[in-house]
Copies of this chain bind each other. A is one copy, B any other.
Amino acid sequence: MKAPLGVFDSGLGGLTVVRSLVRALPAESIAYFGDTARLPYGNKSPATVRRLSLEAYWFLRHLGVKAFVVACNSASALAMETLLREADVPVLGVVEAGARRAAAETVGGRVGVLGTRATIGSRCYEEALGALNPSIEVAAAACPLFVPLVEEGWLDREVTRQVARDYLAPLREAGVDTVILGCTHYPLLRRVIQEEMGEGVRLIDSGEAVAEEVRDMLTSRSLRAPAGAVPRHRFLVSDQAERFAEEAGKFLGEDLLGEVRAVDQSDLPWYDRWVPPGETREQEG
């Protein structure tokens, strides 16, 4: 019960999920892994995303986590089946959680989805929503400029508003009443997105949704940390630990910062083992 929750993201965006988890489960310790050396996952192939997600799973599992939360939408979209097959602790992903909440909240049955190109291209939210309620109509929009805009800190600029207007047009035309923020960075653009969509539209933060599901799962399995336990958070990144504190504040709030450490990820050199088909390795001088 005192074991930490494992949270995995391709970078630091998953810290918005950590924030939601800490709000929902203040006694739980969190072991976070952000794969900053290899982000972003949003433009990688499914096979690569699955490989990296499994590596992250085993890495956090070696630290003794009692559950594995996939905060990265791309990984949640592409690697959930693989993870559920390989894992020996509960695995929860933002996509399923976000879809369940959207299906519960939509009134008119028209749901919009915003995400990276990989998330939208995978049609993962359509599939998850269709499985929950086949009558729900989905309008999806890939928003590849949102992440760099957030990382630039341009949360409330005219440029950001203009980009949002372009990206959200198909969702407005489809008349959606509920919009899933299908990327960890997008909650930081909530105000601009809400304004462009109109006040009547519900925005679903997939991170908030998964945090509630984690709480329910831990409760039902009697895995919750004792009330009043003092949590110990650890933040592990595969690159640039020294920039973590500076960047993490955007997503997390500084009071939550725990121990931060870089993972030594000196891969064994793959180039040394690879020989092109039909060629022999030339001798090095």
Q: Spell out A's residues near B (CB within 8 Å).
A: 36-39, 43-45, 48, 51, 55-56, 58-59, 61-64, 88, 144-145, 147-149, 151-152, 158-159, 162-163, 166, 239-240, 261, 263-272, 274-276, 279, 281-282, 284-285
A91 to chain B, nearest CB (A): 16
Pairwise interchain contact A88-B265, C-beta atoms closer than 8 A: no
Contacts of A149 in B (CB 8 A): 145
Q: How far is the CB of A30 from chain B (nearest CB, A)?
A: 15
Give the complex CA separation of A33 and B148 in angstroms: 25
Among B37, B270, B276, contact of A44 (Cβ-Cβ < 8 Å): B37
* Copies of this chain present: 2
Chain B: CB-nearest residue to A148? B148
Check B152 against A64 for contact (C-beta < 8 Å).
no
Question: Which of B58, B162, B279 is in CB contact (< 8 Å) with A269?
Answer: B58
**Cβ of A271: which chain B residues have Cβ within 8 Å of it?**
55-56, 58-59, 62
The answer on a CB contact under 8 Å between B239 and A62 is no
B239-A44 in contact (CB<8A)? yes
- Chain B residues within 8 Å of A269, by CB: 55, 58
**Listed A/B pairs (16) with beta-carbon separation below 8 Å:** A36-B44, A37-B44, A37-B48, A38-B38, A39-B43, A44-B239, A44-B240, A56-B271, A58-B271, A59-B274, A62-B282, A62-B284, A148-B148, A158-B162, A159-B166, A162-B162
Residues of B within 8 A of A63 (CB): 276, 279, 282
A270 touches which of B88, B147, B267 (Cβ 8 Å): B267
Partner among B88, B152, B162 whose Cβ is within 8 Å of the Cβ of A145: B152
Most chain B CB atoms below 10 A, which of A58, A64, A145, A158: A145
Closest residue on chain B to residue A263 by CB atoms: B274
Shortest CB distance A273–B (Å): 8
List of B residues within 8 angstroms of A264 by Cβ: 270, 274
